[in-house]
Structure 1
Amino acid sequence: MKPTRFDTAWDAALRLADRTAASGPDVVLVRDLLGRVSLLVDDRDKPLAADSAELTALREEFAAATRPFISGDPVQTASALFAPEMFLDSAELVVRSEREPGGAGQVGVLERTVVGADWSRDTDSDASPSAERRERRIALYGFKGGVGRSTATAILSRHLASRGYCVLVVDLDLESPGVSSLLENPAGLPAHGIVDHLVESAVGNEADLDLVTRSSVLPGIEGNGEVWLVPASGKPREGEPYDYLAKLNRIYSDLPAAEPGSQPRPFCARLDDAIKACEDLVAERSRRPDVVLLDSRAGIHDIAAVTLTQLSGLALLFAVNNPSTWEGYRMLFGQWAQRPDLASELRSRLRIVAAMFHSAGDTKRLGALRDQAYETFSELLYDDVEADAEDEFDPDPDAPAVFHPAPQDGDAPHAPIPILFGNDLVGLDPYRSRDWLELPFIEAAYARFLAALDRLVPKHRTEAS
């Protein structure tokens, strides 16, 4: 007999949860840190006897379908729990399907994980920043590292500042910081970084942290433009201890509720607090940032999850046209596709960047990348146009608009924005070559990228007035 594995156990549990809710009650499917699953049935309006034939049959079927990924009691009822609201009203609950008036009950999923929950968290949850703060934040992300994301962040910051913007760059690649060295000399870095705010704020000790510095090394900025930097790690002052790794190991957990009745403080809210503190510091020392560039961690990581789904408006997804890149984005998009409401909110603010793009000798190469991006978006994030074809002549006026841009649409999320590859930037030492931004190659390589961002970046306040 073929063994039940992690994924098949979860798939079976989801089917049983959907079937149970179809009979009326709300249900919550819980998966613990070891992957063990259990089903909670909300019977508070009509309590079920623990030994009823209905529950006994459901327990037996649930256990048989999910073993060995099964908890001690595979099916529980809300009426038998001391505090069922801890599950039914949890801030971490993800609604899989809504309650239907007079019909099926709600199906919720509660993942007890160490990391990763933020990939599916609502973008408008209580932990998310305001729409106004998100609007001015731009995330730069790559599923794979080494694609020039931090270099592009530095070049974009200088470009926007040269047009009069006040730009704040936040180094969120905490496990592999990089953009800081492109924007400031070591001696000019602040005493503290993002990681310091995360550990100090956990104990209410975040006041008076020195988190930001104005870049003093970028050439070509004239007039009113500014670039400010928040490093991942601070620069300890002489004689002061500084253990970055010890801090990094303690930042990703949610904080417990500060007092009875209040909600826990999730990592998303903690990171937003840190970024907002940096924005406020820049406002105190100069003016409110017009644009905040978030140089995100690569890969499937909580930093990336929070940055893409909750903290930013526009999200630039760096890609090279190889199988590993698209397999990674398919994994990411597939996670979002499980939440249609989340996918529909996210997809319109994504843009693919053709990173380190080799254009010489092959005029079809960019088209091939665009086709692969279109296929990935169409399968997982765009609406199914074929399913709506039968309603073409009798459309439902109340139906939501179909979101499925054409393959050649240059403004669509899948349309790649190219950054040309150049050997001049391979092995760059920014401390020894502070004039690297003046290299002749830079203007040509980033011209289309910067022109596209000029259209996508929220208007500078003086331009909008």
Structure 2
Amino acid sequence: MTESARFDDAWQQARALAGTAAAGGHDVVLVRDLSGRSTLLIDDRDDELAPDSDHLTQLRRTFRERLGPFAANNPVQTAGAMFSASAFFDAPELIVLQEREENGHGRVGVLERTVVGADWSAPGIGQGADSSRPWPRIALYGFKGGVGRSTATAVLARHLADLGKCVLVVDLDLESPGVSNLLADPGAASRHGIVDHLVESAVGHADGLDLLAKSSLSPKDGNGEIWLASASGTPRGGEPYDYLAKLNRIYSDLPPEQPGDLPRPFAQRLEDAIAACEEQTEKKNGRRPDVVLLDSRAGIHDIAAVTLTRLSDHALLFAVDNPSTWEGYRMLFEQWKKQPDQARVMRDRLHIVAAMFHSAGDINRLNTLRRHAYDEFMATLYDLPDDDTPEPYLPAEGDVDDKPYAPVPILFGNDLVGLDPQRSPNWTKLPFVRAAYRDFLSAVEELVHDPYEDLA
């Protein structure tokens, strides 16, 4: 008895069959549902196919034979027999694997119906696609937790504020808020948080939310200031506040508000929440943010996916030089590699941070981390399927400080462990903190530097 195809093999078979079907001249969409079962949709709106034709009957039989339990109950369907074909063939989240070709082959697209993870394959947006937002957004992300990401966010916010910038920090680590505890002023906390905007906007009730509070870490002198959008709000006078009940309801996509409207995916809802915080920064003090720092959730999570692929202009990837770190980043890079256009967008957005680097002054260990990062980038984001020639600017050593795989170190010191910001309100100015973050702060400062400031 032949063993049925497992999950990964079944998907490869489904993609091969989709390519074969597209060779007949029709556009096709391959849909994989929450259980991993695949359905092949054939766009016959301009050339209707008989649903019981011998060709389609044979295609359905082949689908079931090759995919086994991972074939849908009705594995091959035509647009002409569907109630709303455009919801699939014209879906905004459609991933195009193969464009229409001059030889008559149709387009091959994929729709992943998943609970989490689909946003890792979303097209990169970033600052270039939003000309109405002149300020940059910088995401701080680590595949593994416990690498000092939130502390680095707080130190970076104070450094940029010391330079006179208006800094907005958004705590997106909703399951384990961290930077909020480092920046919040208990006596002036905001009444609402990011989670409140997500649940209230779902029912059209987000107007009037108090989302921001000025951080106690803001400089006392100069024009710089830090505004914090916390993950959670701080209720007033015993008001009820059920954070977990809200958290359990924020990640789903929402149906259209009105007939004819588009669905409201989680990614758009999170974008709306951050945009509301940016708008509120100007309303509170008459000044737009100069830079927005997004403290992202670690690991493979929808918040992290949306933050890196859609919300940020620069993404700082915190890395500890061990196999689990590189295996994790390789998974993400491989996902982006499947769409070369997205891979090119993402690789220019990424910057490796050597987190908690133990060997101050040990250039050999830093070069080892650089080599490991270089190898991952070369095997994925710089080795794309549609590249005719190798990328011409990838030296592994030498003048590569501006390359995404060139690690920027944050030095580790025992004094950083257990640091209590409440007991040391000027902790970002302590000598060992400044020494540990010096190179990191200089590198990020270059990312947000406005060349017009030099002409002022």
Name the TM tier (shorter chain).
over 0.9
Q: Partners of 1:137 and 1:363 in 2: how far apart?
A: 31
The residue type equivalent to 1:446 in the other structure is Y
Pick closer, same or farther for the CA change 1:330–1:277 going to 2, 3 Å.
same
Which letter maps to 1:432? R
- Contact 1:385/1:404, CA 8 A, preserved across alignment: no
- Partner of 1:249 in structure 2? 248
Q: Deviations over 1:376-420 (max 9, x none)?
A: 00001014699756xxxxxxxxxxx94652212111010001100
Corresponding residue for residue 53 of structure 1: 54
Partner of 1:237 in structure 2? 236
Trace 1:170-189 onto structure 2 (pairs within 5 A): 170-189=170-189
1:88–1:384: structure 2 CA closer, same or farther, 3 Å change rule? closer
Structure 1 residues 120-199: aligned runs within 5 Å: 120-124=121-125, 130-133=130-133, 136-199=136-199
Aligned to 2:445: 454
Aligned equivalent of 2:29: 28
Distance 1:254 1:359 in 2: 45
Name which of structure 1's ranges 281-290 and 75-84 shifts more when overlaid on structure 2: 75-84
Q: Which residue of structure 2 aligns with residue 363 of structure 1?
A: 363
Contact 2:337 2:384 in 1 (8 A): no
CA distance in 2, matches of 1:436, 1:255: 43
Partner of 2:63: 62
Per the alignment, in what secondary structure is the counterpart of residue 133 of structure 1? coil
Q: Shift of residue 141 of structure 1?
A: 0.4
Q: Could you say which residue in structure 1 is the equivalent of 2:263?
A: 264
The amino acid that maps onto 1:438 is K
Deviation string for 1:307-329 (max 9, x for gaps)? 10011101100000000000000
Aligned to 2:39: 38
- Whether the 8 Å CA contact 2:340–2:385 is kept in 1: the answer is no
* Residue 404 of structure 2 is aligned to residue 405 of structure 1: no
Distance 1:403 1:269, change over 3 A: farther
Within 1, Cα distance between the matches of 2:59 and 2:272?
A: 44
Q: Does 1:92 align with 2:93?
A: yes
Distance 1:73 1:429 in 2: 59
Task: Within 5 Å, give how 1:358-437 maps onto structure 2.
Answer: 358-360=358-360, 362-383=362-383, 388=388, 402=391, 404-408=393-397, 409-437=400-428
| Whole-angstrom distance in 1 between the partners of 2:15 and 2:169 | 42
Alpha-carbon separation, structure 2, partners of 1:294 and 1:302: 14
Question: TM-score, normalised on structure 1?
Answer: 0.92
Alpha-carbon distance in structure 1 between the residues aligned to 2:124 and 2:361: 43
Q: SS of the counterpart of 2:111?
A: strand
Give distance in 2, aligned partners of 1:267 and 1:456.
28
Task: Indicate if the aligned counterparts of 1:382 and 1:404 stay in contact, CA closer than 8 A.
Answer: no
User: How many residue pairs align between the two structures?
Assistant: 451
- Give the deviation of 1:222 after TM superposition: 2.7
Cα distance in structure 2, aligned partners of 1:244 and 1:403: 50
**1:152-181 deviation digits (Å, cap 9, x = unpaired):** 100111101111110000000000001011
The range that moved more, 286-295 or 55-64, is 55-64
SS in 2 for 1:442: helix
Q: Distance in 1 between matches of 2:385 and 2:102?
A: 29
Per the TM alignment, residue 298 of structure 1 is displaced from its structure 2 partner at its CA by: 0.3
Deviates more, 1:253-262 or 1:97-106: 97-106
Counterpart CA distance in 2 for 1:35 and 1:457 is: 42
| Cα offsets for 1:239-292 (capped at 9, x unmatched) | 200000000011111121111111011111111111111111110122000000
Cα distance between partner residues in 2 of 1:255 and 1:230: 24
| Contiguous gaps of at least 5 residues in structure 2 | none
- Give, as a single letter, the amino acid of the residue that structure 2 aligns with 1:450: L
Task: Say whether the 8 Å CA contact 1:135–1:313 is kept in structure 2.
Answer: no
Alignment partners' CA distance in 1, 2:294 and 2:196: 17
Contact 2:184 2:215 in 1 (8 A): yes
User: What's the CA shift for 1:371?
Assistant: 0.3
Residues 1:42 and 1:376: Cα distance change in structure 2 (over 3 Å): same
For the aligned residue pairs, the C-alpha RMSD in angstroms reads 2.1
Deviations 1:319-370 (A, max 9, x none): 0000000000001111111111111111111100000001148431100000
Offset, 1:49:
1.9
CA distance in 1, matches of 2:453, 2:362: 42
TM-score when normalising by structure 2: 0.94
- The amino acid that maps onto 2:416 is L
Write out per-residue CA displacement over residues 93-147 of structure 1, whole angstroms, 9 at most, x where no aligned residue: 211121124521111111111122111112249xx97245385110000000000
Instruction: Mark the CA change 1:388 to 1:36 in structure 2 (over 3 Å): closer, same or farther.
Output: closer
Q: Secondary structure at the match of 2:368?
A: helix
* 1:14/1:50 CA distance change after superposition, 3 Å: same
SS of structure 1 residue aligned to 2:363: coil
Q: 1:44 to 1:8 in 2, by over 3 A?
A: same
The percent of aligned pairs where both chains have the same amino acid is 61
Which letter does structure 2 place at the counterpart of 1:292?
V
**What's the counterpart of residue 393 of structure 1?**
none
Distance 2:174 2:339 in 1: 28
How far has the Cα of 1:221 moved from its partner? 5.2
User: Which deviates more from structure 2 when the two are superposed, residues 366-375 or residues 76-85?
Assistant: 76-85
Q: Secondary structure of the residue that 2:133 maps to in structure 1?
A: helix
Which residue identity is paired with 2:225?
Answer: E
Secondary structure of 1:364's counterpart equals: helix
Equivalent residue, structure 1, for 2:119 = 118
Which residue of structure 1 lines up, in the alignment, with residue 332 of structure 2? Answer: 332
CA distance in 2, matches of 1:86, 1:47: 18
Q: Match of 1:202, as an amino acid?
A: A
Deviation at 1:215, TM superposition (A): 1.2
